[in-house]
Amino acid sequence: MQVNMIINGEPKTLEAEAGDLLLDVLRRNGYKGAKKGCGHGTCGACTVLMDGRPILSCMTFAAQAEGHEIFTVEGLGSVNEPSEMQKIFVNNGAVQCGYCTPGMLLATKALLETNSDPTEEEIKRALDGNLCRCTGYVKIIKAIKEVAAAQKSH
């Protein structure tokens, strides 16, 4: 079957079998920022945004994305042209192995779109479903505060 969705602002029609997961279909089509960590909904490495809200693409059938807007980390920036948010994460040491990073960035984007000045508690709550085994979260939280401040100053 074919699934129609808007990915990072571009209309796309992707081939998928009935039981295919959104994560696998995205990765097959080159959106490899979404990572398969646990594969069962506990790590957040597969996070993408659907209509602006974080979802776990390992727990979502591709067919469920029909007609929706999907945003992946590729929509934020690239290695050669990173977004301000990505630069701030790197500059704060909030990226180590990088496996959790796409999910963290997308959770951050979703948070700051609804709350431009989050408290530390609100940041922690927003990252509740995103696990990081490297950074201890302190640097990630610091980076998110800096992203919020930078966005407010624009």
Binding site for ligand FES (CB under 6 A): 36-39, 41-46, 56, 58, 95-100, 132-135
Give CA separation, 78 vs 43, 56, 119, 129, in Å: 23, 22, 28, 24
Provide the β-strand partners of residue 55: 48
Q: Which residue number, 9 or 19, has a Cβ lying nearer to ligand FES? A: 19
Q: Which residue number, 5 or 47, has a Cβ lying nearer to ligand FES? A: 47
Ranges of beta strands (E only) in 105-149 are: none
For the bound state, the minimum distance from the C-beta of residue 103 to ligand FES, rounded and expressed in Å, comes to: 8
**Nearest Cα to Cα of residue 57 among 30, 100, 25, 15:** 25
For the bound state, the minimum distance from the C-beta of residue 18 to ligand FES, rounded and expressed in Å, comes to: 20
Q: Which residue number, 117 or 138, has a Cβ lying nearer to ligand FES? A: 138
Q: Which residue number, 108 or 135, has a Cβ lying nearer to ligand FES? A: 135
For the bound state, the minimum distance from the C-beta of residue 16 to ligand FES, rounded and expressed in Å, comes to: 17
Structural tokens at position 40: 């069962």
Q: Which residue has the tokens 């800096």?
A: 146
